[in-house]
Amino acid sequence: MKYVIIGNSYAAVFAVESLRKTDKSGEITIISKEPYHVYARAAIHEYMDGTIGDAQMYYRDKDFYEKHRVTTIFGRTVTGVEPEKNRVVLDNKQKIDFDKLMISSGGVPIVPPIEDFKGVGTFTFTTWDDAKVLKDWVKKQKMPQAVVIGGGLIGLQCAEGLKHMGVDVTVVELADYVLVKALDSITAQRVQQWLTHNGLKVITGNTVVSINRAKGRITGVKLKNGEKVKCNTVVLSIGVRPNTSLVEGSGIKVNRGIMVDNSMQTNVEGIFSGGDVAEAEDFLRKKGEVMPIIPVATMQGKIAGFNMAGEKRTYPGGLLQNAFQFFGKSVVSIGNVISIDHNDGFEEIIKDEGDVYKKAVLQDGKLVGVLSMNYIARIGIYNSIIRSRMDVTGIKDKLLSDKFGFLDLPKEFRDEMLTKPG
């Protein structure tokens, strides 16, 4: 059996690990356009500002591929997939045959039409190379001044990294507040205040329309409202979209991402997908969704791997989860914490005391989301509750207590969790 995996990141690693659990002999080949041993994409900002070094960047041990008997083709891009011929085509025209294929090519940064964006001084921020290049650039600037376009997670992490490096940073966010996908307006405002307190400038409800250059060098950006911000560096980070270009014309169905069923298989038998490139079922909304987060990528990779090797596994649906830290403050967001429509059976419980803000979102008596700022102890328990779909109306008043735990939950649930192997 020949397995080919496109991509060498979170989803790919889990696919390899579960493949090897089930199929000890099949051939596995990983193809990745990046020339690196698998690394922690989500830590590139910490690499950039020097918080961590190479050792902390590698996601798996040096012998990972050897141990799992994986052939690697690094530094090559897959340009096409040919399902009827059971092969993929690389940028050097080389063809690689497969019996089963896993497409985990991740996401690519969205680049909007900004005047004069191309040229020196502009960067995206999703790869190790991006981080290295930006780091070198910033170090060369006498008075590094950066504008980060996009106040999402990656943009803010990049901004924090730059700040630690002594860069004067302005974040420009189109929405009314930062982290609009993961936070509610209250926590977003507090995060924003905290960022400002730590020296970042944050502009919301605005965006960059053009980049001003003099002799090719960036001198500043112009915002939608006409305002100008001086800078010599622009980082574009308004989000990623599924990297589906390699399947164009292949017959593999793409909506926003590559569409997969609950076994992570695409519409083409034998071709699977997972991670940021895939569109799979959202646990809460019960419809296809691209969820570009690590726990979803790894879980999808795992399920895909098992199914490719012939061990039937069902994807339980993805749940949005995120843990952020900015200048030492933590926020965790799980499930559906925004879009509250009170007419739709939604209910919010909020505990706002001093530094700590906690919110639970209920829909028809069931927990669907939790948001917590400055208090994250044992927060993962809420995942179990959300996944269980249990009715929590009876424990509403305890749900956000600092003491909340398994003893507040039904005995049968607790026994199921605590007395059986995890």
Ligand X SMILES: Cc1cc2nc3c(=O)[nH]c(=O)nc-3n(C[C@H](O)[C@H](O)[C@H](O)COP(=O)(O)OP(=O)(O)OC[C@H]3O[C@@H](n4cnc5c(N)ncnc54)[C@H](O)[C@@H]3O)c2cc1C
| Residues at the contact surface with ligand X, assessed by CB under 6 A | 6-12, 31-34, 41-42, 44-45, 77-78, 104-107, 125-126, 153-154, 157, 243, 246, 275-276, 292-294, 297, 322
Closest distance to ligand X from the beta carbon of 118 (Å): 21
* Long-range contacts of the stretch 136-139 (C-beta < 8 A, 24+): 137/233, 138/162, 138/165, 138/167, 138/233, 139/165
Contact window for other proteins (CB under 8 A) among 114-122, 226-234, 238-246, 297-305: 297-305
**Quick check: helix, strand or coil at residue 255?**
coil
Does residue 393 contact residue 365 with C-beta atoms inside 8 Å? yes
Closest distance to other proteins from the beta carbon of 108 (Å): 20
Total site size for other proteins, rule CB under 8 A: 50
Select the binding partner of residue 292 from other proteins, ligand X, none (C-beta < 5 to 8 A, by kind).
ligand X
Q: How far is CA 73 from the centre of its chain?
A: 24
What is d(CA 46, CA 62) in angstroms, rounded to the nearest whole number?
21
109 or 121: CB nearest ligand X:
109
Chain position carrying tokens 């901004």: 159
Rg (CA), the chain: 23
Closest Cα to residue 382, out of 374, 366, 373, 370?
Answer: 370
Closest distance to ligand X from the beta carbon of 165 (Å): 15
Select the binding partner of residue 57 from other proteins, ligand X, none (C-beta < 5 to 8 A, by kind).
other proteins
Select the binding partner of residue 9 from other proteins, ligand X, none (C-beta < 5 to 8 A, by kind).
ligand X
Closest Cα to residue 175, out of 163, 188, 187?
Answer: 188
Select the binding partner of residue 78 from other proteins, ligand X, none (C-beta < 5 to 8 A, by kind).
ligand X
Contact pattern from residue 37 through residue 56 relative to other proteins, giving x for each residue in contact according to CB under 8 A and a dash for the rest? ---x-xx--x-----x--xx
**Among positions 57, 70, 223, 309, the unique one binding other proteins when judged by CB under 8 A:** 57
Q: Which residues contact 242 (CB under 8 A, 6 or more apart)?
A: 107, 254, 256, 257, 258, 276, 277, 278, 279, 290
What is d(CA 257, CA 244) in angstroms, rounded to the nearest whole number?
7
Q: Which of residues 302-331 bind other proteins (CB under 8 A)?
A: 302-303, 313-316, 321-323, 325, 330
| Chain residues that interact with other proteins, rule: CB under 8 A | 14, 40, 42-43, 46, 52, 55-60, 294-295, 298-299, 302-303, 313-316, 321-323, 325, 330, 332, 334, 376-381, 383-384, 387, 403, 405-408, 414, 417-422
